[in-house]
Amino acid sequence: MSSLTLVKTNMPVDSSIKKLLIVDDSKVSRMLIRTHILARHPEWVIFEAVCGEDAIELVDNERPDYCTMDINMPGISGTDAAERILSKYPSMKIVIFSANIQETHQNRARSLGSILVAKPVTEKSIALTLDYFTNSK
Amino acid sequence: MSTISAKRFDMEDIFNSLNLGVCVVDADSKVLLWNNWIAKHSDIKETDALNRQFEKVFSESVSPAFLTALKHTLTHRLPVVLSTALHRTPLPLYNASEANQQQTRMYQSITITPIQSQLNESCCLIQVTDSSTSIKREKMLRSHSEILKKEATTDSLTDICNRRFFDAHYEMAIAEAKRQKHPLSIFMVDIDFFKPYNDYYGHIAGDNAIKQVASALKSQLSRATDIVARYGGEEFVLVMPHLPQKIAEQFAEKLRSAVFNLAMPHINSSPFHRVTISVGLCTGIPENDDNLLNKADAALYQAKLKGRNRCICLPLCETEEYLEQ
Amino acid sequence: MSSLSELHLDALAEIFSIGAGRAALSLSEIVGDEVHISVPYVQVINSEDINATTLSLNSGRFGAVSQYFSGPFNAEAVLLFTEEQALKIVSDMMGSQMGIDELAEFEHEAMCELGNIILNACLSAMADILHFTLESSLPSYRVASADEILHRLKKNSNQPYVMVLHIDLTIEKRHTTGNLVFLLSSTSLTNLVIHINQFLGSIS
């Protein structure tokens, strides 16, 4: 429950600095997302959580702007965690990252007020994610 | 094509004589090869198929699963199979039938394999076979061999292994345990007061009791290496490798309580008035002349003498370990 | 042996969970219902150390679908399911298309296809993420006892390593587990590790 990592850069704090929470039980997956995001937005502050429960706690403490959420994790599922977070903080933007893009999952994500982006994490899927974070209302 | 024409046959003649459908498509799924078989069963001539997109060649629809499979093969370069069972008739192909008869699509088995053209383009080879004939053939073969094979090793009443299977398995298990020097446990199990049960409740109830005991014993097994067999009448035997003595003894007790907990009434069995078993266990690493089975049987005899509904464990040989106990 | 770190195994688990997701999507298109496949964990072990427990092989007979593949590393991939469970899955997948009495005749082919979908999805995920191309044979299917399977895995001295993926498969309401086993030579394992290192190097 303790692997919450805080990555800070030397950039000065201004209003464009966003806080992103990456929730994934796979370290490699978190590394991938972080690397890709920081390549585009080196000033963002990134938090990581390894399960839904940690994510919910971290959201309360850190109030991130955005969140990427894996589905299959130990403990509660990513969709359940996203649902709880969004019901409390409806203005947060959450992208659900999953290798499983069957329609039922897509519909569930949409009904929560989130979107589903297909894994693997690539430049393309990160572009979709960022587009959702910054452009959707 | 130079390598082909250098041969003594024209490859195209061979394609056209094959008793299966052969078609090659390129990366844009344009048809490059269309053999006679597929022309005949689709009723589409080669000239009408070549250089057209595969799915547009047919007037009827091609199943989405086929198109997905084709796309996968083109992208990932891995071969794909489409079975009759899950798809039946992906392509609009027909068996020539009597005139005026309602045509039904042919059952098909399809494989799609990635191949490379001589221009280094990635292409796909599509092979289609008519599976209606193989279905019939398999049906016949299976109904004979499978049933016989199962009957030969299964006890028909209880559906657990039969004596014949046990005899063969026991020999192998002993040989393996000797070679690997690992312990083997043999459990002999007998239903207590079974003759009085039969006499009082009748043979049908007796058979049912045997069945229930068999399934209670079987349900205790979870490892691939373990077997339970009907040894004869109301007697069963279990063979389990790799159990430490203590675990084996606990397992024997588990067997006893599993049957006890079935709570099958048995008026002529004192003091519990229910169906119980006695268990004789012998466990150890077999060496040359040891006979685990005899020892387990002797243990079962002791369990009976000591009042039934109990487990007795005998060591394989009278070693110091035994004397210490 | 080229040892695999936690991070290597984590990368493999992520790769195969993506493969599992792809396989689930393909299968759901066939059954027209939700399919869930996950890979709870991946192990790489010496083939001598493999036993019924490592593969959680319960008693009974198993359906094994194999494909040989080659590329930067070569391996035989074998997908194992309990025969009984596999048959139930296949019969569920066929739905109302076919009566159960007809099922047996189609078992081999249908199992080949089920295995082919899962194997190809895992292989293609690996190829995509680690950036290489793989070639593969067509799948073959056979039924074997746990003993035969273990015997074969252990006796293969050319391929002293096995990578085992535990697979959970849920189709409609039926749940089952299986194993995907890759038989690897030392060279192949080394090459696999090299590719994972390159991949990890690109993101850290």
CB A55 within 8 A of CB A103: no
Confidence at residue C158, expressed as pLDDT on a 0 to 100 scale: 77
- Where is pLDDT greater, at B288 or B295? B295
Are residues B164 and B127 located together in one domain of the fold? no
The beta-carbon neighbor of A28 closest among C10, C24, C28 is: C10
Mean pLDDT of C65-73: 91
What range defines the domain where residue B11 resides?
Answer: 2-133
pLDDT of residue C105: 60
For C114-158, what is each residue's pLDDT tens digit?
899 999 999 999 999 999 989 999 999 888 887 788 787 777 777
Which pLDDT belongs to residue B12? 86
Chains A and B touch (3+ CB pairs under 8 A): no
When pLDDT is averaged across residues A75-96 and rounded to a whole number, the result is 94
Strand order in the sheet with B31-34: B31-34, B21-25, B122-130, B108-116, B80-82
Q: Which residue of C has its CA nearest to A30?
A: C203
Interchain proximity A99–C11, CB inside 8 Å: no
pLDDT at C43 over 80: yes
Provide, as residue numbers in chain A, all residues whose Cβ is less than 8 Å from the Cβ of C19.
99
The whole-number pLDDT of residue C38 equals 83
Are B129 and B158 part of one and the same domain?
no
Phi then psi for residue B301, to 5 deg, are -60, -40
Q: What is the mean pLDDT of chain B?
A: 87
Contacts of B150 in chain C (CB under 8 A): none
Please, what is the angle between helix A123-135 and helix A27-40, to 10°?
Answer: 60
**Listed ranges B101-105, C4-8, C156-160; the one with the highest mean pLDDT:** C4-8
- pLDDT above 90 covers a percentage of chain B that reads 60
How many alpha carbons fall within 13 Å on the CB side of residue B182?
A: 9
Taking CB atoms within 8 Å and a gap of at least 24, the contacts of B197-206 are B197/B266, B197/B268, B197/B269, B197/B275, B199/B268, B200/B267, B200/B268
pLDDT per position as a tens digit, B225-260: 889 999 999 999 999 998 999 999 999 999 999 999
Going from the C-alpha of B283 to that of each of B36, B250, B297, C18, C96, the distances in angstroms are: 68, 12, 12, 47, 50
pLDDT of residue B158: 93
Residue of C nearest to B147 (CA): C104
Question: Which of A50, A68, A77, A102 to probe by mutation at the C interface, max C CB count within 10 Å?
Answer: A102
Residue B138: active-site member: no
Beta partners for residue A83, in sequence order: none
The answer to whether the Cβ–Cβ distance between C203 and A100 falls below 8 Å is: no
Domain extents for chain A? 6-135
Residues B79, B122 within the same domain: yes
C23 contacts chain A (CB < 8 A): no
pLDDT exceeds cutoff 50 at C26: yes
Q: How far is CA A46 from the centre of its chain?
A: 10
Distance, in angstroms, between A70 CA and closest chain C CA? 11
What pLDDT score was predicted for residue B4?
52
Q: Which residue has the tokens 């026991």?
A: B170
| pLDDT, average across residues B309-315 | 93
Q: Which helix (H) or strand (E) segment is A22 a member of?
A: strand A19-23
Q: Which of C30, C105, C136 sits opposite B79 (nearest CB)?
A: C136
| Closest CA–CA distance from residue C26 to any residue of chain A (Å) | 9
| CB-based contact, A74 to chain C, within 8 Å | no
The answer to whether B77 faces chain C, any CB pair under 8 Å, is yes
Q: Are B83 and B170 part of one and the same domain?
A: no
Same domain, B195 and B318: yes
Lowest mean pLDDT among B131-135, B262-266, C14-18: B131-135
| B267 or C38, greater pLDDT | B267
The rounded percent of chain B whose pLDDT value lies above 70 is 88
For residues C162 and C150, the answer to whether their CB atoms sit within 8 Å is: no
Q: Is the pLDDT reported for residue B94 higher than 80? A: yes
Is the residue at B138 inside a domain? no
CA distances from A16 to A12, A60, B69, B202 (A): 10, 21, 46, 87
- Which pLDDT does position C149 carry in this prediction? 80
**Residue whose structure tokens are 């409740």:** B201
Q: In this structure, are residues B205 and B304 in contact, taking their beta carbons and an 8 Å threshold?
A: no
- How many structural domains compose chain B? 2
CATH number at residue B49: 3.30.450.20
- Is the Cβ–Cβ distance between B55 and B73 less than 8 Å? no
Pick from B79, B81, B83: CB nearest C106: B83
Instruction: Note the pTM of the prediction, 2 decimals.
Output: 0.66
Could you report the per-residue pLDDT of B21-59, keeping only the tens digit for each? 999 999 999 999 999 999 999 999 999 999 999 999 999
For position B236, which CATH number holds? 3.30.70.270
CA-nearest residue of chain C to B63?
C30
* Rg (alpha carbons) of chain B, rounded to whole number: 32
Q: Determine contact: B88 vs chain C, CB below 8 A.
A: yes
Range from C9-18, C89-98, C117-126 carrying the lowest mean pLDDT? C89-98
Are B272 and B265 in contact, with CB atoms under 8 Å apart? Answer: no
Secondary structure letter of residue A10 according to DSSP: S
Q: Is residue B144 part of a domain?
A: no
Mean pLDDT along residues A50-64: 95
Residues of B in contact with C105 (CB under 8 A): 135, 138-139, 142
Q: Is A27 on the interface with C (CB under 8 A)?
A: yes
Chain A residue with Cα closest to C29: A102
Question: Under an 8 A CB cutoff, do C58 and B224 touch?
Answer: yes
Tell me: do B160 and B309 sit in the same domain: yes
Residue C72 sits at the chain A interface (C-beta within 8 Å): no
Q: Are residues B241 and B124 in the same domain?
A: no
Nearest to A96 by CA among A111, A80, A113, A116: A116
- The whole-number pLDDT of residue C91 equals 73
Please state the ipTM of this predicted complex. 0.85
Residue of B nearest to C109 (CA): B83
Dist CA C90 CA C203 (whole Å): 40
Contact call for B225 and C146, based on CB within 8 A: yes
In CATH, the number for domain A6-135 is: 3.40.50.2300
Answer whether residue B280 shows pLDDT above 60. yes
Residue type present at position C171: I
A111 and chain C: CB distance < 8 Å anywhere?
no
State chain C's mean pLDDT as an integer.
83
Chain A interface, best mutation among C4, C5, C14, by max A CB count within 10 A: C14
Are B124 and B270 in the same domain? no
- Please report, as a single letter, which amino acid is at residue A36: H
**CB contact, 8 Å: A102 with chain C?**
yes
- In chain C, where are the structural domains located? 6-201
B276 domain-assigned: yes
Structure letter (DSSP) for residue A12: P
Residue B98 and residue B180 in one domain: no
Task: Evaluate if residue A2 carries a pLDDT over 60.
Answer: no
In terms of domains, do B82 and B214 share one? no
Q: Is B154 on the interface with C (CB under 8 A)?
A: no
Contact C120 B81 (CB under 8 A): no
B150 in contact with C at a CB cutoff of 8 Å? Answer: no
What is the predicted pLDDT for the residue at C96? 46
Is A119 in Cβ contact with C20 (below 8 Å)? Answer: no
- Identify all chain C residues contacting B135, using CB atoms and an 8 Å cutoff: 105-106
- Statement: residue B85 has pLDDT above 90: no
Q: Which tens digits make up the pLDDT trace of A12-45? A: 444 578 999 999 999 999 999 999 999 999 999 9
pLDDT tens by residue, B212-231: 999 999 999 988 788 999 99
DSSP chain C: --PPPHHHHHHHHHHHHHHHHHHHHHHHHHHTS-EEEE---EEEEEGGG--TTTTT--SSEEEEEEEEEESSS-EEEEEEEEHHHHHHHHHHHHGGGS-HHHHHHHHHHHHHHHHHHHHHHHHHHHHHHHT---EEPPPEEEEEEHHHHHHHHHH-TT--EEEEEEEEEEETTEEEEEEEEEEE-HHHHHHHHHHHHHHHHTT-
Interchain CB contacts (distance < 8 Å): B and C: 95
> B57 or C159: whose pLDDT is higher?
B57
In this predicted structure, what is the pLDDT of residue B277?
Answer: 96
Q: Which residue has the higher pLDDT, B219 or B148?
A: B219
Smallest Cβ distance to B78: which of C29, C30, C120? C120
Question: Are A72 and C17 in contact (CB < 8 Å)?
Answer: yes
- For residue A58, the SS3 value is helix
Distance in angstroms (rounded) separating the CA atoms of residues C44 and C184: 10
Q: Would you state the CATH architecture of domain C6-201? A: 3-Layer(aba) Sandwich (3.40)
What is A93-124 written as a DSSP string? Answer: EEEEEES---HHHHHHHHHHT-EEEESS--HH
pLDDT band at B134 (very low <50, low <70, confident <90, very high): low
- List B residues 226-285 in contact with C (Cβ-Cβ < 8 A): 226-227
Q: Are B33 and B166 members of one domain?
A: no
Question: Cβ of B61: how many Cβ atoms within 10 Å?
Answer: 12
Say if B143 falls within a structural domain: no
Determine the Cα–Cα distance for residues B215 and B158; give it in Å rounded to an integer: 7
pLDDT at A11 over 50: no
Instruction: Please tell me the distance from the alpha carbon of residue B218 to that of residue B238, in angstroms, as a whole number.
Output: 9
Q: Say if residue C1's pLDDT is above 70.
A: no
Query: Which residue type does C159 have?
Result: Q
Candidate list B234, B235, B249, B320, residue with the active-site label: B234
Q: pLDDT confidence of B324, banded at 50, 70, 90?
A: very low
Same domain for B194 and B94, yes or no, is no
